Amino acid sequence: MAPKIVDRQAKRERIVGAAITVFAQKGVANTKMIDIAKEAGIGKGTLYEYFRNKEDIFASAYDTMNRDMEQKIAAILSEQTHPARQLQMIFEYSLDYFSREAVEFSSVMMDFWAEGIRRKSPEMMGVINLKEIYDRYRVIIAGIVRKGQEQGLFIDVDAVSYASLAIGALDGLLLQLVMSPELIDITRMKTTFKQTMIQCLEK
Amino acid sequence: MAPKIVDRQAKRERIVGAAITVFAQKGVANTKMIDIAKEAGIGKGTLYEYFRNKEDIFASAYDTMNRDMEQKIAAILSEQTHPARQLQMIFEYSLDYFSREAVEFSSVMMDFWAEGIRRKSPEMMGVINLKEIYDRYRVIIAGIVRKGQEQGLFIDVDAVSYASLAIGALDGLLLQLVMSPELIDITRMKTTFKQTMIQCLEK
DNA sequence: TTTTATTGACCGACGCGTCGGTATTAATAT
DNA sequence: ATATTAATACCGACGCGTCGGTCAATAAAA
* Tens of pLDDT, residues B60-119: 888 888 887 888 888 989 999 999 999 999 999 989 888 877 656 666 777 777 666 666
Which positions in chain B touch A174 (Cβ < 8 Å)?
A: 168
pLDDT at A136 over 90: no
What is the spatial distance, in angstroms and rounded to an integer, between the CA atom of B123 and the C1' atom of C5?
A: 36
Helices A159-179 & B159-179 angle (0-180, nearest 10): 110
Nearest to A176 by CA among B123, B196, B141, B98: B141
On whether any CB of chain A is under 8 Å from the CB of B157, the answer is: yes
What does the angle CA A167 – CA B23 – CA B106 come to, to the nearest 5 degrees?
25
The reported pLDDT for the residue numbered B62 is 83
pLDDT reading at A123 higher than 70:
no
Please, what is the Cα angle at A135 between B187 and A83, to 5 degrees? 80
CA distance A196 to A191: 9
> Could you tell me if B113 lies within 8 Å of chain A, comparing CB atoms?
yes
Mean pLDDT estimate for chain A: 85
The model's confidence at residue B124, banded by pLDDT at 50, 70 and 90, is very low
Convert the pLDDT of each residue in A188-200 to its tens digit: 999 999 999 999 8
Mean pLDDT of B22-39: 86
**Alpha-helix residue ranges (DSSP H) falling in A41-158:** 44-50, 54-79, 83-96, 103-118, 130-150
Q: What is the DSSP letter of A15?
A: H
In this structure, which topology does domain A1-51 adopt according to CATH?
Answer: Arc Repressor Mutant, subunit A (1.10.10)
- Protein CA A99 to sugar C1' D13 (Å): 43
Q: What pLDDT is attached to residue A121?
A: 41
Nucleotide showing the shortest C1' distance to residue A47 CA: D10
Is there a contact between A111 and A29 (Cβ–Cβ < 8 Å)? yes
Judged against a pLDDT cut of 70, whether residue A119 lies above it is answered with: no
Q: Chain D: nucleotides under 7 Å from a protein CB? A: 5-13, 19-24, 27-30
What are the backbone angles phi and psi of residue B28, rounded to the nearest 5°? -60, -45
- Alpha carbon distances (Å) from B20 to A37, B13, B57, B61: 37, 11, 10, 6
What element of type H or E holds B173? helix B159-179
The residue-averaged pLDDT of B46-68 equals 88
Asked if B116's CB is within 8 angstroms of A114's CB, the reply is no
Q: How confident is the model at residue A172, as a pLDDT?
A: 87
Question: In terms of DSSP H, where are the helices of A119-158?
Answer: 130-150
Range A54-198 has CATH code 3.20.20.10: no
- Provide the pLDDT for residue B14: 93
Q: Specify whether the CB–CB gap between A39 and A18 falls below 8 A.
A: yes
More confident residue, A88 or B179: A88
Specify the pLDDT at position A155. Answer: 94
What is the SS3 assignment for A202?
Answer: strand
How many helices (H) and strands (E) chain B has is answered by: 9, 0
| Segment (H or E) for B25 | helix B8-26
Which of A90, A140, A164, A190 is closest to B190 using CA atoms? Answer: A164
- Give chain B positions within 8 Å (CB) of A172: 167-173, 175
User: In this structure, what are the phi and psi dihedrals at residue A122, rounded to the nearest 5 degrees?
Assistant: -65, 155
Q: Where are the domains of chain A?
A: 1-51, 54-198
Indicate the SS3 state at residue B202.
Answer: strand
In this prediction, residue B109 carries a pLDDT of: 74
Residues β-bridged to residue B69: none
Domain at B62-198, CATH homologous superfamily: Tetracycline Repressor, domain 2 (1.10.357.10)
Burial-class residue A81 by CB neighbours within 10 Å (0-12, 13-18, 19+).
exposed
User: Given CB atoms, is A139 within the 8 Å cutoff of chain B?
Assistant: no
Q: Which of A22, A129, A112, A9 is nearest to A65 (CA)?
A: A112
Set of chain B residues whose Cβ sits within 8 Å of the Cβ of A92: none
Task: Report B:169-198 residues touching A (Cβ under 8 A).
Answer: 169-176, 178-180, 183-185, 188-189, 191-193, 195-197
Q: Which chain B residue's Cα is nearest to A182?
A: B131
Cβ-contact A179, B136 below 8 angstroms: no
B128: pLDDT confidence band, cut at 50, 70 and 90? low
Do A1-51 and A54-198 fold alike per CATH?
no
What is the chain A residue with the closest CA to B103? A121
Q: Read off the pLDDT of each residue in B149-177 and give the average, rounded to a whole number.
A: 92
Contact B83, B151 (CB under 8 A): yes
Instruction: Report the pLDDT value the prediction gives residue A1, as an integer from 0 to 100.
Output: 53
Residues near strand D (C-beta below 7 A) are A 1-4, 6, 8, 11, 42-46, 48-50; B 1-5, 30-34, 44-45, 48, 53-55
Highest mean pLDDT among A7-11, A125-129, A157-161: A157-161
Q: What is the mean pLDDT of chain B?
A: 84
The CA distance from B113 to B119, in Å, is: 10
Instruction: Kindly state whether A109 is in contact with chain B, defined as any CB-CB distance less than 8 angstroms.
Output: no
pLDDT at residue A18 is higher than 90: yes
Nucleotide D28's nearest residue (CA vs C1') is B4
Contact A20, A61 (CB under 8 A): yes
